[in-house]
Amino acid sequence: MTLLDLQGLTKAYPGVVANSDISFAIGKGQIHALLGENGAGKSTLVKTIYGLVRPDAGTMTLEGAPFTPTDPRAARAAGIAMVFQHFSLFDALTVAENIALGMENPPKQRELAQRIREVSENYGLPLSPDRIVGDLSAGERQRVEIIRCLLQDPKLLIMDEPTSVLTPQEVEILFGTLRLLASEGTSILYISHKLEEIRALCEHATVLRLGKVVGTCDPRETTSRDMAELMVGSTLMTPKRDSETLGDDVLVIEGLTAPAPHQFGTALKNISVSVKSGEVLGIGGVAGNGQDELVAALSGEMPVSAAMVSLDGQAIGHLDPNTRRKIGLCAAPEERNGHAAAPDMTLTENALMTAKTRLGLSKNGFLDWASARDFALSVIDGFDVRTPGPETAARALSGGNLQKFVIGREILQKPRVLVVNQPTWGVDASAAAAIRQALLDLAGEGSAVVVISQDLDEILEIADRFAALNEGTLSPAVPTAGLTMERIGLMLGGAHDMEAAHVEA
């Protein structure tokens, strides 16, 4: 039984064909995966189904009848519901108000609150209707979106990258809900580039590349590697080290303690660890356990006592970011738009901002635009950043491309120490592999690299040693070779070795 049939959908934007002659069908009660790299045309296709984009050519058929939604309301009325990648929620409003906004004819507040409680219990998604959305965790916010969809009894539920912000436990809960929905006859279009998840959840996959359907498969019987190569269109490389020669300690953190910088921050408590030349240190932990604060203390955004951080024996804890860059410590924070890069400025300007000191791109207070442009071009070429040129605004780049640019910009400054936070967050498989390889190459050239990440597989893949960050304290670093997931779980939970229990009560 086919629910939604797409025939020859085409949509072109100036300069790029986002969707080209796309045809596939989604069956009733089917969990259908839509796979593709960033820029493959997944978002455009989904927006077409949801009525946000009108196709240039092609037809859609919903349950045998022509389906041409003019806006999201029409799509919702026809039984299409969508959970967005970037949650379309209103922080200052309550859960119930947010849900009411997504419904055509919401019932009275009290009745709605009752229905929210029913649905949240039936599908194992605990949620209180009276809470303010701004106070919820990422997982809870996603539940708001899902319940908003479920209250309308959708025929097709579209999930756009739903697990990128969830903890493993939350992912399990979500999958349970989706399987239950599918068993009740709801079709699900699941968009992701996390292949293991698709293999665990979906029964059919359509793969897009550069706006075209390049293949279909049954994810349960296809390996992740085969699917990834179908997505990328070429063989996927696994990051590997050329040489592993460790030198002396380069970065030494000694008793790093700092109060929480703001109300929702985490205090750093007596963190001590050192990183050798040529070594990659992976720091794992659930978000909000001090990652941002640790990066700020290392990059110089949050100055600490001089002796707490030292580089090649020189105490640098009190220095500002530019002075640290000059000495050789570069950093790339987690948030690409607005922290690592200024969204409305060009790539050249963004390159200038961190590379100015180290590469001497300004003289006597005047900027050397020619050299800055050359540097930006070398980042673009060296790290395969897909962009029309260095004069493009940073915000115009897709997440993966901007991330490659940000990491490349720091790596090409040849730092003694590079600190990166979530280097491959929201980045597709091939870009992530390229970034990881670049980090390993940098270590291979004798730099010390600190990778802070919530992606444990990533840390196990590239780090030499692993340490867990938990409520602002850091466990002792242990070699990643032979480290089991069980042991990592214990470290993340805060059950450190006894000698590490230097947490003040």
Partner 1 sequence: MDINPILLLAALMVASTPILLAAIGELVVERSGVLNLGVEGMMIVGAVCGYIAGHSSGNPYLGFVGAAAAGAALSLIFAVLTQFLLTNQVATGLGLTMFGLGLSSLIGQGAKGSPDLTVSKLHIPLLADIPVVGPILFQHDVMVYLSVAIVAGVWAFLKYSRAGLILRAVGENHDAAHALGYNVRAVRVLAIMFGGACAGLAGAYISLVRVPQWIDGITAGAGWIALAIVVFASWKPWRLIAGAYLFGGVTVLQLNLQAEGLKIPVEYLSMAPYLATIVVLVMIRAGRAPASLGKSFHPST
- Judged by the rule CB under 8 A, the positions of this chain that interact with partner 1 are 47, 51-53, 71-73, 76, 84, 87-93, 97, 100-102, 106
What's the min distance (Å) between Cβ of 72 and partner 1? Answer: 4
C-beta of residue 417 within 8 angstroms of C-beta of residue 330: yes
Closest separation in Å from C-beta 120 to partner 1: 20
Which residue number, 141 or 324, has a Cβ lying nearer to partner 1?
141
Cα 361 to Cα 101, 164, 351, 353, 367, distances in angstroms: 50, 37, 10, 9, 6
Q: Which amino acid is at 398?
A: S
Query: Helices (DSSP H) in 266-398: which residue ranges?
Result: 291-299, 321-327, 347-359, 369-382
| 73/179 with CB nearer partner 1 | 73
State the minimum distance, in angstroms, from the CB of residue 146 to partner 1.
15
Q: Given the structure tokens 């001590």, which residue do they identify?
A: 272
Shortest spacing between CB 272 and partner 1, in angstroms: 39
Nearest to partner 1 of 84, 175 (CB atom): 84
The smaller minimum CB distance to partner 1, of residues 88 and 128, is found at 88
CB of 74: closest distance to partner 1 in angstroms?
8
CB of 413 to partner 1, least distance (A): 34
Per-residue burial over 116-131, b if 16 or more Cβ lie within 10 Å, else e, is: beebbeebebebebee
Q: Which residue lies nearer to partner 1 by CB, 36 or 102?
A: 102
User: How far is it, in rounded angstroms, from Cα 473 to Cα 19?
Assistant: 48
Smallest separation, CB 101 to partner 1 (Å): 5
In this structure, are residues 239 and 433 in contact, taking their beta carbons and an 8 Å threshold?
yes
- Both structure tokens of 293: 């604060």
Our CB check for partner 1 shows the closer of 88 and 371 to be 88
User: What is the C-alpha to C-alpha distance for residues 397 and 387, in angstroms, rounded to an integer?
Assistant: 7
**C-alpha angle 63-67-72 in degrees, rounded to nearest 5:** 115
Of 11 and 199, CB closest to partner 1: 11
